[in-house]
Amino acid sequence: MLDPELPERITARRAELDEFEEQPAKQLAEVRAERDELAVAERVLERMSEQIADERASAMPMPGQVGGQAVMLIPHRTPDVEEAALPPDYQRILAVVRQAARAGRRPAVLVRAAAAVRAG
């Protein structure tokens, strides 16, 4: 004769296995939902980056005319601009300012810089 507890044990084990089966399914659903959210976030980030780049490009100063020549009146500032990338006049101004700072002079810096640029 069979043990009378055997059907109960089988039913209990089946319930346990059903519960174990649900856990990975829930985890998989959570993983897929998070992956979908990340995909949306990536698309939003791409759009915003493009929008910011467009705004920055339109905010850049336009070249002016000096002596019939197109020149950038005020160069666009970025943190990584090398001094060599600046127009020669600006490079000369920086050299005069550096020289004055080393000599400990300050009041005449702008006058000297302006004269240096004019002398070109």
**How far is the first Cα of the chain from the last one, in angstroms, to the nearest whole number?**
113
Coil/strand/helix, residue 53: helix
Return the pLDDT at 118.
Answer: 57
Read off the pTM.
0.41
pLDDT at 113 over 70: no
Coil/strand/helix, residue 12: helix
pLDDT in tens, 22-80: 999 899 999 999 999 999 999 999 999 999 888 777 766 666 777 777 776 655 667 77
Return the pLDDT at 37.
Answer: 95
Return the pLDDT at 119.
Answer: 58
The mean predicted confidence, pLDDT, of the chain is: 79
